[in-house]
């Protein structure tokens, strides 16, 4: 079951593509968070979505907002992926325990063993204010993220 708008966002602690620990609660009271779950690095739709975020990064990572992208890939895979694609925002590994954070947000596909395309806009108080969940083949529209952030 996907986390509902108006609910407290589940806290998590994941390693990023550089091996640093990132906790959602670090941003509470400081920044809104755009939390983007995606299936796998190096796949066509995922690469397209993450590069589109890279190209619009000032909208999603600035004084008031932090972008966090989560997949079930290992940190080593994410490091190479980020370097290859020039991704300068944190790519978080939900590799082990496999899919624990994806499950907490209700976006883990048990049959495929990966997260589906879920995005959550979380306000500074840690409350989910907007979300969208798409199936594996369906890219998301970044303009929807921008509108959700502007509404905060």
Cα gap 72→62, rounded to integer Å: 26
Helices assigned H by DSSP within 10-112: 44-55, 57-60, 75-85, 100-104
Distant-in-sequence, close-in-space partners of 97: CB < 8 Å, separation ≥ 6? none
Known active-site residue 46? yes
What is the rounded CA–CA span in Å between residue 51 and residue 69? 12
Specify whether the CB–CB gap between 15 and 75 falls below 8 A.
Answer: yes
Q: Which residue in the list 46, 114, 115, 121 is annotated as catalytic?
A: 46
Q: Is 108 helix (H, G, I), strand (E, B) or coil?
A: strand
Q: Which residues are catalytic?
A: 46
């Amino acid at each position: 079951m996907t986390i509902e708008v108006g609910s407290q966002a589940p806290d998590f602690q994941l390693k990023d593509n550089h091996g640093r620990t990132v906790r959602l609660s670090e941003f509470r009271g400081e920044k809104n968070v755009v939390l983007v779950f995606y299936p796998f690095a190096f796949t066509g739709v995922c690469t397209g979505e993450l590069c589109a975020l890279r190209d619009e990064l000032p909208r999603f990572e600035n004084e008031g907002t932090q972008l966090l992208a989560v997949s079930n890939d290992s940190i080593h895979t994410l490091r190479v992926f980020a370097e290859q694609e020039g991704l300068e925002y944190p790519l978080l590994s939900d590799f082990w325990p496999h899919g624990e954070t994806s499950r907490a947000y209700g976006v883990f596909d048990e049959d495929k063993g990966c997260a589906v395309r879920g995005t959550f806009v979380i306000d500074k108080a840690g409350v989910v204010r907007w979300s969208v969940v798409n199936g594996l083949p369906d890219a998301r529209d970044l303009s929807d993220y921008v509108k959700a952030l502007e509404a905060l």
